Amino acid sequence: MGLMIIFALTTLLGIFGAVSAMRNKNFLGLGFAVLTFAIFGWFTVMTVLNHGYPTAH
């Protein structure tokens, strides 16, 4: 369950970074933030679907 929380927090930070980079017109930062959001968001969704929330033993 801790792994899913870390993935979810990283996803939220990726969204925040993407918005901030878009406002500052920082395209390299925007690219990294969008990739972070996409990858860690996918990990979060798949972890919840695979293991459930809260984690089933």
CA distance 37 to 42: 8
Q: What is the dihedral of CA 6, 11, 15, 18, to 10 degrees?
A: 100
Q: Please provide the average confidence, as pLDDT, over all residues in the chain.
A: 89
- Is the Cβ–Cβ distance between 11 and 27 less than 8 Å? no
What is the value of pTM for the model shown? Answer: 0.79
Q: Which residues contact 11 (CB under 8 A, 6 or more apart)?
A: 36, 37, 40, 41, 44
pLDDT of 46 over the 70 cut: yes
pLDDT of 55 over the 80 cut: no
